[in-house]
Amino acid sequence: MFDYDLNDDQRELGATARRVFEQAGGLALARELFETRAYFSRALWRTMIELDWAGLAVPEAYGGSGGGILDLYAVCLESGRAVVSSPLIPSSVVAAHVLVGAAEGNQRVAELLGRLASGASIVAPALLEPGGVWDERGVETRLERSGGTAKVTGTKVLVPFADVADRLLATVRDRDGVSIVLVDPAATGVSITPTDNLASLPLCAVVMEGVEVDELVGRAGGGWPQLAPALARGAVLRAAETAGAGERILEMTVEYAKSRQQFGKAVGSYQAVQYLCTDIGIASHLTDLLARRAAWLIDTGRPHQRAAAAAKLHASRAAAHMTQRAHEVFAGLAFMMEHDLHLFTRHAKHWEHDLGDVRHHGEELVEALQREFVDGSQR
Partner 1 sequence: MDLTFSSEQEEWRDEVRTFLTAELPADFDWNSEYDEDEEGWAFALDFTRKVAGRGWIGLTWPMEYGGLARPAIDRFILWEELIRANAPVVNHIGWGLAANALLAGGTHEQKLRFLPPIARMETFWAEGLTEPDAGSDLASLRTSADWTGEHWIVNGQKTFTTWGTHADVLYLAARTDPAQPKHRGISIFCLDLRAPGVSFSPLHNIAGGRQNHTYFDDVIVPADCLIGEVGHGWDYIMGSFYAGGPMGGMECEQENRLAELTRWCSTVGRYGRPLIEDPYVRERLAELAVMTEISRVLSYEGLSNFLHRRPPRFGGALNTVVSKEMRPQFSQTISEIVGPLSQVRGESPAAPMTGRPAEWFLRGINNHAGGTPQVKRMVMATRGLGLPR
List residues binding partner 1 (CB under 8 A). 128, 130-134, 137-138, 157-158, 193, 195-199, 205, 261-264, 267, 270, 272-273, 276, 320, 324, 327-328, 331-332, 335-338, 342, 345, 349-350, 352-354, 357-359, 362
| Short-list 246, 377, 264, 218, CA closest to 324 | 246
Tell me if 243 sits within 8 A of 284, measured CB to CB.
yes
Dist. CA 34–CA 43, nearest whole Å: 16
Beta carbon nearer to ligand FAD, 160 or 268: 268
Beta carbon nearer to partner 1, 220 or 358: 358
Please list the residues that pair with 193 across neighbouring strands.
205
Q: How many CB atoms lie within 10 A of CB 41?
A: 19
Beta carbon nearer to ligand FAD, 108 or 265: 265
| Short-list 236, 277, 282, CA closest to 258 | 277
Helical pair 69-81 and 223-259, crossing angle rounded to 10 deg: 40
For residue 3, report the phi and psi dihedrals to the nearest 5 degrees.
-160, 120
Beta carbon nearer to ligand FAD, 217 or 267: 267
Dist. CA 323–CA 291, nearest whole Å: 19
With CB under 5 to 8 Å by kind, the binding choice for 133 among ligand FAD, partner 1, none is partner 1
With CB under 5 to 8 Å by kind, the binding choice for 320 among ligand FAD, partner 1, none is partner 1
Burial 169-179 (b: 16+ CB within 10 A, else e): bbbbbbeeebb
Beta carbon nearer to partner 1, 20 or 139: 139
Shortest approach of ligand FAD to residue 264 CB, angstroms?
10
